[in-house]
Structure 1
Amino acid sequence: MTWFVRIEEGKVDKSTFDKYVPAHTIYVQELISKGHKAKSGYWAKRGGGMLLFEANSLDEAQAIVEADPLVKHDCINYQLNEWRVVT
């Protein structure tokens, strides 16, 4: 599998965003249980974050990202990139 990174920034107010965090947490746990080795977090400064995970292809990675409740409910803008691990 290949590593992918979703760099994100919030685009809704905190109370709206926070409504979907529990569903996002469940979503990440499901990715982990399916073998995608997902890690999710936010910048200490707030206002954005990152999702790191493995997928078999860019198409699969895009489908994974689109299934996130934060994306489904239009809470974030994001960029999806393949991450080529060197070491």
Structure 2
Amino acid sequence: MNRYLVILLRKPHVEPAMVSAHRDFLAELRVQGRNEMNGPFGDGSGGAYLLRANDLDEAMAIVQRDPASVSGGWEITIHEWQAS
């Protein structure tokens, strides 16, 4: 599996219930072995997670199910990460 860095930047009006749903989604990905690590940015502007997927299409499909994506409360970018 490949690694994908998913970066989420908060938009001005984030619904608080979506934050909890997003965290639950990340926990489920961890159980599945798909979320290698995650966390918020220190300045409160958003966060990131390291997703494991077979390819970019699969990574995008997973991220599209994230409540953060579904709610539209965050700007989300995905980058294949070739860490050494």
Q: What is the TM-score of this pair, normalised by structure 1?
A: 0.86
Q: Tell me the residue number matched to 2:9.
A: 9
Deviation at 1:40, TM superposition (A): 2.2
- The question of whether the paired residues in 1 share the 8 Å contact of 2:26 and 2:35 is answered with no
3-state SS of 2:35 partner: coil
Residue-pair matches, total: 84
Structure 2 residue ranges without an equivalent (≥5): none
Deviation at 1:31, TM superposition (A): 0.8
After TM superposition, where is structure 1 displaced by more than 3 Å over at least 4 residues in a row?
none
Structure 1 counterpart of 2:65, one-letter code:
A
CA distance in 1, matches of 2:46, 2:34: 22
Q: Tell me the residue number matched to 1:60.
A: 58
Q: Tell me the residue number matched to 1:51.
A: 49
CA distance in 1, matches of 2:60, 2:25: 15
CA distance in 1, matches of 2:27, 2:55: 20
Identify if the C-alpha distance between structure 1 residues 38 and 21 changes in structure 2 by more than 3 Å, giving closer, same or farther: farther
Aligned-residue CA RMSD (Å): 1.4
Structure 2 counterpart of 1:40, one-letter code:
N
- Percent identity over the alignment is 31
Q: What is the TM-score of this pair, normalised by structure 2?
A: 0.89
